[in-house]
Amino acid sequence: MIKSTKQTVSNASQVPFWIRTWALASSIIVTWDFGYCLLRPLSMEGGSLNFLWKPYNLYAKIDYFYGLPAFNSQDGFTGAQAVMNVIETLLNFIYLGLLKNENVNVGQANLIGFSAALMTLSKTILYWLVEPFSEYQHIGHNNMKDLIFLWIIPNGLWIVVPAAIVDIRFPTSKSLDGSDAMNKDPDYSAAYVIFYTDVADFEGHGMTFTCGRGNETVCCCIEQLSVKFVNKKLRDLVADMRATHQICTGDSQLRWIGPEKGVIQLATGAVINAIWDLWAKAVNKPVWKLVVDMTPEEFVQCIDFRYITDVITPEEAIEMLRENVATKAEHEADVRAHGYPSYTTSAGWLGYSDDKVRRLIRESKAEGFTYFKQKVGSDKQADIRRAGIIREEIGDDGVLMMDANQVWDVQEAVDWMQDLLPFKPLFIEEPTSPDDVLGHAAIRKALYPRTKVATGEHIQNRIIFKQLFQAQAIDFCQIDSCRVAGVNEVLAILLMAKKFNIPVWPHAGGVGLCEYVQHLSLIDYICVTGTTKGRALEYVDHLHEHFLDPVVMKNGRYTAPLAAGYSIQMKRDSIEDYTFPNGKIHLQ
């Protein structure tokens, strides 16, 4: 069972307001409650202090634990619960005090807060369980209306376990890692979520990628979504992953700030991916293997086909998947032995000097890479010069791709690329706005077959991908693991790409994205297409050291991840050091 969620926030003041309010309000109410219990009979009706506890005169008639029957029989449960309430309240006040102390690590403070919340949950469950085990001798005399409104609802409130929430940022702008024509100084960041369970050290981790500012906004949306899964059983969630996905995408109020796009969609990707991570760990498999071992029917059951049945139906998807069932074992053995082909962007960032580009190209070649991507779009003459350097270094046999990161208008893209065509780029990526389906189609029509068009890292949902396929607007589909709503939606996009015969080249240029998408490419190969021909997976050599199960490259290829989960769990020290704004790295 999922007990709580946490998105680490180092500054205590960033602990969500509702959590601090809950801790304070519940402590005040519980103080009033244990005061009544420990001061009986003075606090009871007729006692000298009863004026402070007048409402308890009614409650004592509803629940005999608070009335004369328990007091006269010297039932010790009420007093024992009151002492537990004293300890719980002290923990809550200590927690609130620690949150105001900027010298205290928020992880330590949250440990106290979690202990208080766990005590609240456990003693409340115990309080409830006493009734069926004592034949309801304390509340069985009530009519149903009084029981519901004066006992079940008030006591049921205390079963909710508070969910804390993590803003992790790496200062990559200092080295210009990740720089391109649109994003000139990105700080690779993660809005990070952890689902805790009632099993020690059994956690689901998920994240979504941003470039720095605004990461805190995604965290706020993750908070809104993640609480929907607290106190849910994992087996119930994974029994119908389509319905679980729709818990996030179908919220009648939250979808207003989408729907299925923007910040709320980024948050959905983080939350859904965390559940997949938890599921895979529960069955001791990497996510790709979890999906590969599904039947076609189970695979399709994970997908929300709403808005795409004009292109692909569940029945058609099942038939497509059945075509590859017989070769699954063979293709799985292939990736375990030989890995999955990749290309590198690490040498092509726009902020790098020519000398650094040349050096990194040579290093990448020595590591076995034969596919290279160059960032373009800021300065045409600089693009031409750098394209010449890269082509000189990789030779005619090397494959060059280009990426404009959305900076051009449609005709500008066509005109700019005319001067870069002599360097034989395989494709131009994101030549214009990611929402301009017809613009992409026009660019492709003007440039094909001298070069091709790729896009996808900013395509927000399966519906826009559907339109890109229908309009013949792209030659390469660049899925992103957390721009769309997690694994569920990626599966839908893989199937549509297969139907339109568009190869999938996932986007991975950001923290944690390589770790994520390696699973998705293996699913595409083994379950959907049955081939790696004409396909490659992006690789950037940045920040992998912060993950417990980082990607492993061999001869320019991804090796198949074998650890259970989605490979996205960060090291505890990295989370603490890079939490924004008061992690150690940000304070230096």
Q: How far apart are CA 375 and CA 405, in angstroms?
A: 8
Q: End-to-end CA distance of the chain, in Å?
A: 40
The length of the chain is 588
Report phi then psi at 341, rounded to 5: -65, 150
C-alpha distance from residue 265 to each of 208, 217, 268, 557 (Å): 10, 12, 5, 30
Residue whose token pair is 């608070």:
66
Q: Are strands 553-554 and 557-558 parallel, antiparallel or unpaired?
A: antiparallel
Q: How far apart are CA 472 and CA 506, in angstroms?
A: 19
Residue whose token pair is 């330590």:
108
Count of CA atoms in the C-beta half-sphere (13 A) of 529: 24
Environment class of 49 (CB within 10 Å of its CB; exposed 0-12, middle 13-18, buried 19+) = middle
Q: How far apart are CA 350 and CA 348, in angstroms?
A: 6
Q: Which listed residue (245, 375, 519, 546) is catalytic?
A: 375
Q: How far apart are CA 150 and CA 152, in angstroms?
A: 6
Structure tokens at 107: 């992880």
375 is catalytic: yes
The SS3 of residue 258 is coil
Q: Of 388, 378, 323, which Cα lies nearest the Cα of 354?
A: 388
Report phi then psi at 340, rounded to 5: -130, 135
Which string of DSSP letters, residue by residue, matches 192-250?
EEEEEESSTT-EEEEEEEE-STTHHHHHHHHHHHHGGGTT--HHHHHHTHHHHHHHHHT
**Contact residues for 585 (Cβ-Cβ < 8 A; gap 6+):** 170, 171, 577, 578
507 is catalytic: yes
Which amino acid is it at 222?
Answer: I
Largest CA distance in the chain: 97
HEC states along 70-117? HHHCCCCHHHHHHHHHHHHHHHHHHHHHHHCCCCCCHHHHHHHHHHHH
Contact 413, 473 (CB under 8 A): no
Q: Which listed residue (365, 498, 507, 542) is catalytic?
A: 507
Contact 567, 577 (CB under 8 A): no
Q: Of 48, 57, 56, which Cα lies nearest the Cα of 32?
A: 56
- In sequence order, which ranges of 314-447 are alpha helices (DSSP H)? 314-322, 328-338, 354-366, 380-394, 410-418, 437-447
Active site residues: 375, 507
